[in-house]
Structure 1
Amino acid sequence: MQATQAAQATQGTQATREKVLIDGAMGEGGGQVLRSALTLAMLKQLSVEIVNIRAKRNKPGLLRQHLTCVKAAQQVCGATVEGDQLGSQRVIFTPGKVTAGNYHFAIGSAGSTALVCQTVLPVLAVAKGESSLSFEGGTHAKAAPSLSFLQNAYFPVLRLMGVGIELAIERLGFYPAGGGRWSLKLTPAKALRPFHLSENPIKPLNLAKHLSITALVSLLPRSIAEREVSKAKALLSLPEHPATVTDVASPGPGNILMLQVDQGGYCNQFDITGEPGISAESVAKRAVGRLNKLLQSGAAVEEQLADQLLLPMVLAGGGSFTTTKPSLHTTTNVEVIRAFGGVAVDVTAAGKQRWRVSVVGA
């Protein structure tokens, strides 16, 4: 995204003092537009109308996991909602006061519990009082951040900002069976600390000191995970590097390969969920490819974590990081944030393969 493009006015949105109108077809046109709009509506205490929800998906409108996000947001702030039915392509959400407490969210399918969590966690992270959240549904699927990603990459950054998070995992839930169960205890920060992640000290030559390789497997041959690990080590020219293969409890079959790079206080994680018809070697190639992309750029944050850090920066009223070329998910999130106002978001090229993203409070 070029600097001139980043400075252009948001298209497909309109903000007034009473209501923010969001076109769900903007940018990537998926569920992220809905989730970010719900979070920002609660944070800003503004009514939001979201139209054309998931317009660019094969099955537009609210699926079960998206409806659960709406219901979860409604529950934590006592919102009034219109259009909260399966298949709905228009939702009007008018938030009340966000209230800390004990909440349970069950999707009833293999839909992503991580995405439900990310809808409500940011606002509860600045609420008055501790909260306990429990989730039932999917934890690992290809089209959403995994619970392992939250655990190893997303939550550590929130802790750097001053949020207390204690995670407990009862069992994982791979797509398509789902059935995962997990919970967290959340202690809000008195004042969120903005973070600035500018340079990546990890280079190919010192990667081995900071790299962890882990593969999880459920109800599938252990050899699948072993082949993923072996291929990843070969591609990274680290044949003797230690790795962990773990059999996990889950209602259905599943597998994920994770390459974790310890950045000192936070982690970049590159995970790929195994799929039928995709070889173990292909899974490893995808994960290593993403890792190498970050190392070559010299950026501090990989593109999927970059997308997830924007809303926490809005909550903190500032912050910055460098990343590889922003994904469509990231640029879409920027558009939604700009529609609500209150902060300035700047995305500028900082080199051939590196971009700087910054948020400044208005």
Structure 2
Amino acid sequence: MKRKVLVIDGSQGEGGGQILRSSLSLAMCLGQPVKIKNIRAGRKKSGLLRQHLTCVRAAKEVCDAEVSGDELCSDYIEFTPGKIKHGDYRFAVGTAGSTSLVFQTILPALLLGKGMSNIELEGGTHNQQAPSFEFLTACFLKTLEILGVKANTELQRYGFYPNGGGQWTAQVHPRISGQRLKLLERGEPVARSATTFTAKIPQHVSQRELKQVVRKLKWKEQDLREILVDSFSPGNIISLKLEFTNCVEIFEAVAQRNIRAETIAGTAINALKRYRNSSAVVGEYLADQLLLPMALFSGGSFITHEMSQHVATNIAVINQFIDSAIQTSEIESDTYKIEVQGLNLNSDGIKTEVQKSDLIV
């Protein structure tokens, strides 16, 4: 018997691409046909851009889905998933669009494969409004290890706006089992670092960013690193990392044309200060990214310091697929406890096939 198609309104909440990506991930893992309408209606340029189209077509390849509406600028898609297929995949965004977001879209499904999957990605690796490669690996994937997520990554080339061209690979192992994720206390401070990654721009930019870290945070020289990287486009990002016994958080800012290095650094510094001065364990961006894998896998709970519209929208979408999967409660001013009831899906419960694919959008 065919399952009833679930209709998701892409204009709800913040009306961005996360509604599309979360819906695709959930549809693949749950075998749920879905129609997504009004895609990215809350954005100035609505509909599918190349990055979003790559997510749709990557999801299609991974689960052999039947799809309609998968074309540039389309404001809807219909997505009927088939069997999840582990194997070798290559996905190229074709612009500087975020490869991290493409990876996060297909990761949950690949964890349900019967064997290991090898993924090659090409496009943007360090974008505004998206997790960088370092955030993805050292923060997101590191945190997910307790849920039974194992993925090995390697970066070959950085990809900055506008040309992109970044390249990296990932090996995703099938999920067998895991524990509930419980992040209610940070624990003791373990380490801190401020790192700039810079390609084809004057060195004084990264130096000024790091001087601002010393000035505003009173960090020491031993906490600072400048790294020159290979990229087709000029670019720069500053990454501030805090490690505790129970968690890792990263705060970033990507350089922008005609904006002073001190201002860019200040964006990351201010985000770190907001987190440090709160009782949160999980920052705003990581909170948003943890919700879906927690709901599909072992579940758990965490404390975060901001309930952004982005987070609230993602919770609403997940709860449309999995009834009452996520509950929130405000435990003090602007501090929230999020509790997730996980389905504990794993590779033993999914019938899969082996697949090879090379997709360029």
- Is the pair's TM-score, using the shorter chain for normalization, greater than 0.5? yes
Paired AA for residue 143 in structure 1: Q
Does 1:347 pair with 2:321?
no
Taking only the aligned residue pairs, the percentage that are identical comes to 42
CA contact (8 A) 2:329 2:337 kept: yes
Q: How does 1:156-235 map to 2 (within 5 A)?
A: 156-201=142-187, 209-235=190-216
User: Which ranges in structure 2 are unaligned for 5 or more consecutive residues?
Assistant: 344-361
Tell me which residue corresponds to 1:253: 234
* C-alpha distance in 2 between matches for 1:317 and 1:43: 14
User: Which residue of the partner structure matches residue 94 of structure 2?
Assistant: 108
Quote how far apart the aligned CAs of 1:279 are: 1.0
SS at match of 2:104: helix
CA RMSD of aligned residues (A): 1.5
Cα distance change of structure 1 residues 343 and 127 upon mapping to structure 2, 3 Å threshold = farther
Moved over 4 A (4+): none
Aligned-partner Cα distance in 2 for 1:348–1:265 = 22
Q: Using the alignment, how far apart are the partners of 1:361 and 1:137 within structure 2?
A: 32
2:275 corresponds to? 294
Residue of structure 1 aligned with 2:8, choices 22, 29, 37 = 22
- Shift of the alpha carbon at 1:43? 1.3
Q: Which amino acid aligns with 1:338?
A: N
Match of 1:4 in 2: none
Query: Which residue of 325, 341, 345 corresponds with 1:360?
Result: 341
1:93 aligns with 2:79: yes
Partner of residue 154 from structure 1, selected from 125, 137, 140: 140
Matched, 1:59 2:45: yes
Question: What residue ranges of structure 1 are gaps of 5+ in the alignment?
Answer: 1-15
Q: Deviations over 1:252-294 (max 9, x none)?
A: 1000000011123642000111111111111111111111111
Q: Which amino acid aligns with 1:312?
A: P
What one-letter code is carried by the residue in structure 2 that aligns with 1:69? Answer: C
Q: Which residue of 1 aligns with 2:356?
A: none
For 1:350 and 1:265, locate their aligned partners in 2 and report how far apart those are by CA, in whole Å.
Answer: 20
Q: Tell me, what secondary structure is at the counterpart of 2:169?
A: strand
Length-normalised TM-score, structure 1:
0.91
Distance 1:233 1:241, change over 3 A: farther
Letter in 2 for 1:310: L
CA distance in 2, matches of 1:251, 1:361: 41
Q: Verify the 8 A CA contact 2:288 2:314 in the aligned structure 1.
A: yes
Pairs aligned (count) = 342
Deviation at 1:361, TM superposition (A): 4.4
Letter in structure 1 aligned against 2:182: H
Partner in structure 1 of residue 29 of structure 2: 43
Structure 1 position 130 matched with structure 2 position 116: yes
Instruction: Name 2:347's counterpart in structure 1.
Output: none
Structure 2 length-normalised TM: 0.91
Task: Please say which of residues 49-58 and 347-356 is displaced more in the overlay.
Answer: 347-356
Structure number with higher relative contact order (C-alpha < 8 Å, ≥ 6 residues apart): 2
Shift of 1:324: 0.8
